[in-house]
Structure 1
Amino acid sequence: MAEATRPRSKLLNRGLPDEIVIWEILLRLPPESVLRCRAVCRAWRLATSTRDFLLAHHRRQPSLPIICGYGDRRNILVLDHRATDGQLQRVARLDNTFYPKASFDGLLILSKYDMNGALVFSVSYRSSVLVRDGLHWYSVEQRQPILVFDTTSELFRHMCAPVVSIKSYIFEMDGTLGIYSRDNAMGNVDIWVLQNYEGEVWDCKYRVKLPMVDISGQLGLSIDYWAVKAMLVDSDVLLMVMYGQCVCYVDTDGKLIASFRRNRQPLHDCQGWLKQSLVQHTFFTALKGYSVNSWPFV
């Protein structure tokens, strides 16, 4: 961020310049810690409440995979494999009639069903990703072209997709598109990468043999069915494998590198990502009867 856009403030710490305290220390804290720091003093509260600071802080936040935990209530969780503790962090606790469908700028889009199964509110069942100023949708169940909405021209168009099996998903991969598909019977995951965006040229870059024996041995379970999600983490492609109450990370060499467990609650991948934000969305406060943490969020 340009120096000219940074607000001048009073000395926050006698031993450190304001620029270091605000833009090198407070900016690097997780959202919960930033909120707690506001209680330290009025100067810190003002410094961490400016729009420039909040936008810069949001840009530093990682995009974390969203996971659903099932039980008496539906827990919306995110997984940060880099955290030293509490890797599965709860974002919201919902009525079981709600299900997350998408996320953007810290907002969750939910679908809701009544007790008779009638759809009340929903968004597309396709997986989607934002790349190159375009929102890309890809059919999970059918072999169809990729649907693209150009956010600049506000026009729709189609892109070709690789010939893959059903149950394939699209994801963002270092500024371009990736599509991955799984073969439950063989335990394989194919990952395709769009090598040339303008030419719509795809390449099958990885074929990963999942270490199901290692995973089942470590978890002490016999795994018959599993869910998987491909993701880019710190410039490395990883696979998140889910079964029951457990989540595992596997690299493209098929090596198990980490595992997490949430006891007493089955987990399910929601095919979404959450990037936390402290930036206030003005349209919420404009809603009639708006209140924070009201039903159905508890």
Structure 2
Amino acid sequence: MPDRREATLLEDLPEEIIDKILKGLPPKDVGRCRAVSTLWRSITSIPEFMLEHHQRQPSLPIIDGRGRPASFVLFRGAGTNASNQQLWPFIPGLSHYHLKPSLSVTCDGFLILIQQKKFYIYNPVMRKRALLPHPQAGENECSNIIGFYRHQLTGEYRLLWTTFRPLSVVKYSLYVLTVGSDVPRQVRVRMPTVLSPSAEHKILGALSYSNYCPPPVHHGGSLHWCPFPFCGVADITGGSGDIVVFDTEAESFQWMRTPDQVYPNRKLFDMNGALGFCGSSTKGKAGGCLSFTALDIWMMQDYKAEIWAFKYRIDLPTVEASRQLYLTSRKGKKKTPLHSTVQWFNDMAVLNERELLIMFNGKHVLRCDTDGKVLGLVNIGKSQYGMSLTPHRFQESIIPIPSFP
């Protein structure tokens, strides 16, 4: 046997090799390594290391169990080794359903949560949180965070924050707040075309209400919103586009087109590093939610030319037939049965090139392939009921929250 004294220790390796090894570890293991040696702690505390390590983590959808039995669960998969991590609660003692926060936006492993009219920035991996200052100018104003991004030039994390007075003539204001600062900076909606104050307020109004506009999608250094058609944002552009784009470097707005086909309901999403679009015709409302019978999935083929490519369609009859076969094949096994038929779709999220999650009937989530074949039913704990597929995705991060003065 070789002499153990001649064995190569990790500390004997070049620092760049140690750096690569540490970047390949899960976030929690990196945290443990920081306690091993001063060198490892120094390597893993460099901002460039933490950002690259974060970018290597998978982008995973968040499912809201609505407090029964869990809220804001990170869906890792359906395998036996998959561990779905609960991202909330984070404030000790506040575990009741009526005190559950709402999830506003995400960026680089940070969550922005709203609880009892207070805004928090939270890193679930580090289990650290900080209260964000309001940029309000008056007591009767309402606030909402519509965007969250990292400014490439400065490395600062910044929030797009709107304020308005709901009980008077509605006047919207837009602010940029750097995380770690308590001084907001008021900005205007600057676009290539000249906008009147009324048009600017109409855009901010559409972006300020999550019921009318899902949170933005990060892609190519910009934020992308796709307000619902009835918000009337497309009328402002004169046909030049109905996607609102915010360049996080120049901090300016512009327009972008959706696919040419008209959809009463549509959403943008991350499609494994590409900009994705989901369009659907609606069959009305069910349980207070828009309901659909088919989902058309598009992917941005050429970003500069604004060319979309149709990928596939998921229709309700195919999914329901496959779900029945899935339940039949698992008959007799100790699994919670799901007897209700698929009556309508609510939302979807892409897992990878061949799999996606679909929320249906307002309370169930299933996993299927791009042909509509059901691969499994999503559980939170032992429950398959009362869950919601959020429009948010999350990548774990060891980046610390910027400190306030």
**TM-score with structure 2 length normalisation?**
0.57
What's the offset of the Cα at 1:70? Answer: 1.3
Secondary structure of 1:261's counterpart equals coil
Q: Which residue, 149, 153, 170 being the options, matches 2:246?
A: 149
Secondary structure of 2:378's counterpart equals strand
User: Which residue number in structure 2 is paired with residue 53 of structure 1?
Assistant: 49
1:28-81 deviations in whole A, cap 9, x for unaligned? 221122212333444433433333332221121111112212127862211112
Question: Which residues of 2 match residues 184-199 of structure 1 at below 5 A?
Answer: 187-199=293-305
Deviates more, 1:257-266 or 1:49-58: 257-266
Q: Which residue, 15, 20, 24 being the options, matches 1:23?
A: 20
The answer (yes or no) to whether the contact 1:12–1:21 under 8 Å persists in 2 is no
Question: Which residues of 2 match residues 254-265 of structure 1 at below 5 A?
Answer: 254-262=372-380, 263-264=382-383
- Cα distance change on mapping 1:174 and 1:63 into 2, 3 Å: closer
The answer (yes or no) to whether the contact 2:265–2:281 under 8 Å persists in 1 is no
Do structure 1's residue 134 and structure 2's residue 231 form an aligned pair? no
User: Which residue number in structure 2 is paired with residue 8 of structure 1?
Assistant: none
1:221-244 deviations in whole A, cap 9, x for unaligned? 2143443323252xx153212357
User: Which residue number in structure 1 is paired with residue 355 of structure 2?
Assistant: 238
Deviates more, 1:174-183 or 1:50-59: 174-183
Do structure 1's residue 158 and structure 2's residue 278 form an aligned pair? no
- Cα distance change on mapping 1:87 and 1:150 into 2, 3 Å: same
- Cα distance change on mapping 1:51 and 1:198 into 2, 3 Å: closer
User: Which residue number in structure 2 is paired with residue 292 of structure 1?
Assistant: none
Q: Which has the higher strand share?
A: 1
User: Which residue number in structure 1 is paired with residue 398 of structure 2?
Assistant: 278
- Cα distance change on mapping 1:268 and 1:250 into 2, 3 Å: same
Deviates more, 1:180-189 or 1:170-179: 180-189
AA aligned opposite 1:129? V
Do structure 1's residue 252 and structure 2's residue 255 form an aligned pair? no
AA aligned opposite 2:296? D
The answer (yes or no) to whether the contact 1:176–1:197 under 8 Å persists in 2 is no
User: Which residue number in structure 1 is paired with residue 271 of structure 2?
Assistant: 173
Distance in 1 between residues matched to 2:302 and 2:20, nearest whole Å: 37
User: Which residue number in structure 1 is paired with residue 58 of structure 2?
Assistant: 62
Distance in 1 between residues matched to 2:388 and 2:105, nearest whole Å: 15
Distance in 1 between residues matched to 2:32 and 2:58, nearest whole Å: 20
Secondary structure of 1:249's counterpart equals strand
User: Which residue number in structure 2 is paired with residue 3 of structure 1?
Assistant: none
- Cα distance change on mapping 1:253 and 1:224 into 2, 3 Å: closer
What's the offset of the Cα at 1:260? Answer: 2.9
Larger Rg, first or second structure (1 or 2): 2
Give the RMSD, CA atoms, in angstroms. Answer: 3.3
Q: Which residue, 26, 34, 37 being the options, matches 2:33?
A: 37
AA aligned opposite 2:105? A
Deviates more, 1:273-282 or 1:69-78: 69-78
User: Which residue number in structure 1 is paired with residue 307 of structure 2?
Assistant: 201
Distance in 1 between residues matched to 2:78 and 2:15, nearest whole Å: 29
Deviates more, 1:155-164 or 1:35-44: 35-44
The answer (yes or no) to whether the contact 2:355–2:367 under 8 Å persists in 1 is yes
The answer (yes or no) to whether the contact 1:61–1:275 under 8 Å persists in 2 is yes
Secondary structure of 1:93's counterpart equals coil
What's the offset of the Cα at 1:138? Answer: 0.4
AA aligned opposite 2:393? W
User: Which residue number in structure 2 is paired with residue 6 of structure 1?
Assistant: none
AA aligned opposite 1:200? E
User: Which residue number in structure 1 is paired with residue 183 of structure 2?
Assistant: none
AA aligned opposite 2:299? V
Secondary structure of 1:35's counterpart equals helix
Deviates more, 1:218-227 or 1:147-156: 218-227
